[in-house]
Amino acid sequence: MTGAEMIVQVLADEGTTAIFGYSGGAILPTYDAVFLHNQACASAGHPQMPLIVPANEQGAGFMAAGYARASGRVGVCLVTSGPGATNTVTPVRDSMADSIPMVVICGQVPTAVIGTDAFQEAPVPALMGAVAKHIFLVTDPEKLEATVRTAFEIARTGRPGPVVVDVPKDVQNWTGVFRSEGLLPIPGYRKRLFATTHAGIEDDEAAEFFGMLRQVKRPLIYAGGGVINGDAAAELTAFATRLQIPVVTTLMGIGAFDTTHTLAMRMLGMHGAAFANYAVDDCDMLIAIGARFDDRVAGVPDKFAPNAKKIAHMDIDRAEINKVKRVDWSHVGELRAAIATLSDYAERTGFQADFSAWHRETEQLRTEYAMNYDRDSELIQPYYVIEEINRQTQGEAIIATGVGQHQMWAAQYFDFRRPRLWLTSGSMGTMGFGLPAAVGAQFANPDALVIDIDGDASIRMNIGELETVTTYNLPIKVVVLNNFGDGMVKQWQKLFFKGRLSASDKSLHKKDFIKTAQADGFEFAVRLDKKSDVPKVIKDFIEFKGPAFLEVIIDPDAGVYPMVGPGQSYDAMITGDFIKARHAVTDPESPGPSQMF
C-alpha cells in the first residue's frame, strides 16, 4: 500500500464512520486514497467512510469534535498543510480543554523541505504540541501505520484528548507493506495508563469513604464531564439512587444524571441554578466525580462548599486531585469501576443512611429558588423559546450550542435525559462551535433530532457551515436567538463597567439571516417575532423533514441569571428580578484585575 492508503485503512480498522476535512496539495494523496477506499467498499457492498467537506478547516475540527462528543467514538479530521493545519488549532485546543477524543491528520510539505518555509508550510509540531494531548511528525514511513494506530490509542484512553499526526507528502506517496497490526512503543504512557486502569478501590478505602458518609446529614454529588467521557453515567445514577444522594452537575457534566430525576439539582456554578448553588453552600459532604473545581464553579475555592466537613474526589487524572481545593478522600482511576465498587461495597455491607431531611431541604430549595423570568413580557423571552422547544422534545434531542447567553439559557432550561445529548464548548468557550458540532453529531447519530441553539454573534463565526448542512441534506434544526449584538459582553458591561458599551454598540447587526439561510439552500427559513406564534412555529420547525432554520427576535435586554461574578462566592450571586435570592446583592462588585471574564 501507499502511505496514504495505510492511513485510510487504519481509519477504517478503528471504526471511523465519517471523516471531516478540507483538501489541499499536501494531503491530496490521502484524499485520493479515501476515494479509492469508498469506491472499493461500494463495489463490495460494504459501508463507506464518507469524507465531509466543510466551509473551512475550523468547521471540520468542530464537526469531528461534535461527532466524538455525541458518540463517544474518536472523531477524525483530515486537513492539508500550512493554513489547513493552523485553522484546526482552535478546535484542537477546544477538544483538549474539554477532554474530547479526536485524531487530526495534517498533510505536510515533503520531508526534504521541512524548515525551508516551503509553500504552505507551518511548524505543526511546535504549534500543536502546545495544545494537543500528543503530536506526531512522521518522518520514517515504516512507522506510519503504527503511528496512526497509536494516535487512536492515545486519543481515547485515560483522560481523552486530541492527537495530531503530521504526515509529509512524500511519506503519503511511499509504498510499503501494510501489516494490519502494531503500535509504537510508548512505555511511559502505557505504564501510567496501566496503573490508572488497574487502580481499584480496596475495602479499607471504601470503608473510609462510607465512614465519612455515615457521619454527615447533607451529602451532595458534584459530577463533571469526566463522568460522560468515562461512560460512567449509568454507574453514577445507580450510586446516587442507591444512597439517595442529590446530584449537581457542571456545564460539561450535563446529561451525566437525568435532569428530570427527583435527585437532580441541575447545574451549579457561575450561571448555575440558584437552588443548585445553595445546595452546595448547605451540604456537609461534597463528593466530586470527574470534576475539576474550575473557576466557573469554585470562583473562590476557600468559600466553595463552606459547610462541607468532608470532601471526596474521584478522577481519571491525578493532576486534578488537590489542584484547586484540598480533599479528605480521593481515588485516581477509571470512574465506571470506581463508582461501581463503592455501590457494591454499600450493598455488601448493608450501608444505610437517612437523608430524608436533606431531601426535604433540597426540594424546598428547588421550589423557593426556582428558575424564572418575566413571563408577562410582550417581547419574546429566550427562556420561553427554549422551554417550548424542550416541551416538544422532552429532553431527548441532541442540543449543540454556540457560546454566549444562548448557551447558558440552553443549559438552564433544557432537560437532558441521558449523556451525549448536550454538546457545548465548555473550558475554551469558543464562539462558532454549535453549528459544525451539530453537523458532526448528526453524522454520528443519523436518526437523532439534532438542534443547534445559537446566537446571532456566535453563528457568524462559522456561518458558512449552513451550506454544509444543506449540501449533505442533514435534518439539523438551527435556532438563532437574535438580540442584535454580543449579549453576554453587553451584560458584563452593564453590570461591571457602568454601562459603557465599548465596541458592543457596533456589533454586526445588518445581516438578514433568513435570506442567508435561503441562499444556502434552506427550504424552511422563518423569522419569529410574535410571542403568540411561538408554540405553532416551533412545532412546524421541529416537524419539518429536512434542514430547518429559525430566527427568533428576542428581548435585547434579556440577561443570564443567576450569575456569580468572577472571583465571587455563591453568597454574592445575582439572581435578577424574577428569581428569589437568599442574600440581596444590589451593587455587584466589579471584577478585579486578575479575575476571569
Summarised one tens digit per residue, pLDDT across range 22-60 is: 999 999 999 999 999 999 999 999 999 999 999 999 999
From the list 1, 9, 48, 120, the catalytic residue is: 120
From the list 96, 285, 461, 488, the catalytic residue is: 488
Of 503, 520, 502, 504, nearest in space to 512 by CA = 520
From the list 57, 121, 387, 551, the catalytic residue is: 57
pLDDT at 483 over 80: yes
1 catalytic, yes or no? no
205 catalytic, yes or no? no
Q: Do residues 148 and 165 make contact, with C-beta atoms less than 8 angstroms apart?
A: yes
For 231-258, the pLDDT digits (tens) are 999 999 999 999 999 999 999 999 999 9
Of 448, 431, 430, nearest in space to 439 by CA = 448
For 357-413, the pLDDT digits (tens) are 999 999 999 999 999 999 999 999 999 999 999 999 999 999 999 999 999 999 999
Mean pLDDT of 212-216: 98
From the list 169, 310, 325, 490, the catalytic residue is: 169
Of 30, 196, 28, nearest in space to 103 by CA = 30
The pLDDT value given to residue 361: 98
Q: Which CATH class is domain 382-553?
A: alpha beta
Mean pLDDT of 542-568: 95
Q: Do residues 252 and 224 make contact, with C-beta atoms less than 8 angstroms apart?
A: yes
433 catalytic, yes or no? no
Residue 127 has which C-alpha cell? 504549534
119 catalytic, yes or no? yes
Q: What angle do CA 390, 392, 395 make, to 5 degrees?
A: 45
Mean pLDDT of 169-196: 97
* Angstrom distances, CA of residue 399 to CA of 384, 411, 437: 16, 9, 10
For 409-434, the pLDDT digits (tens) are 999 999 999 999 999 999 999 999 99
Mean pLDDT of 502-516: 86
CA distance 239 to 219: 13
The tally of CA atoms less than 13 A away on the side-chain side of residue 340 is: 12
For 334-345, the pLDDT digits (tens) are 999 999 999 999
Q: How confident is the model at residue 503 (pLDDT cuts 50, 70, 90)?
A: confident
CATH of 3-186, one of 3.30.200.20, 3.30.420.40, 3.30.365.10, 3.40.50.970: 3.40.50.970
Mean pLDDT of 439-445: 98
The label of the residue with cell 523541505 reads 113
CA distance 487 to 459: 13
The pLDDT value given to residue 507: 76
Mean pLDDT of 296-310: 95
For the beta carbon of residue 241, count every other beta carbon within 10 angstroms: 15
Of 341, 321, 338, nearest in space to 330 by CA = 321
- Of all residues in the chain, what percent carry a pLDDT higher than 70? 98
Residue 139 has which C-alpha cell? 518522518
Q: Which CATH class is domain 199-368?
A: alpha beta
The pLDDT value given to residue 492: 83
Our measurement of the distance from residue 77's CA atom to the centroid of its chain's CA atoms, rounded to an integer in Å, reads: 17
For 96-154, the pLDDT digits (tens) are 999 999 999 999 999 999 999 999 999 999 999 999 999 999 999 999 999 999 999 99
Which conformational region is residue 558 in: left (phi greater than 0), alpha (psi within -120 to 50 degrees), or beta?
Answer: beta
Mean pLDDT of 186-209: 96
In the chain, where are the structural domains located? Answer: 3-186, 199-368, 382-553
Q: How confident is the model at residue 346 (pLDDT cuts 50, 70, 90)?
A: very high
Task: Name the least confident of 295-304, 357-366, 418-427, 502-511.
Answer: 502-511
The pLDDT value given to residue 239: 98
Q: Do residues 104 and 162 make contact, with C-beta atoms less than 8 angstroms apart?
A: yes
pLDDT at 199 over 80: yes
The pLDDT value given to residue 588: 64
169 catalytic, yes or no? yes
CA distance 355 to 170: 66
Instruction: Count Cβ neighbours within 10 Å for each residue of 206-220 and write b for 16 or more, e otherwise.
Output: beebbebbeebebbb
pLDDT at 490 over 90: no
Q: How confident is the model at residue 90 (pLDDT cuts 50, 70, 90)?
A: very high
CA distance 407 to 410: 5
The pLDDT value given to residue 595: 63
The mean predicted confidence, pLDDT, of the chain is: 96
Instruction: Count Cβ neighbours within 10 Å for each residue of 281-294 and write b for 16 or more, e otherwise.
Output: bbbbbbbbbbbbbb
pLDDT at 568 over 80: yes
Hey, do 3-186 and 199-368 end up sharing a CATH topology, with the first three levels equal? yes
Of 159, 178, 162, 155, nearest in space to 124 by CA = 162
From the list 39, 119, 364, 378, the catalytic residue is: 119
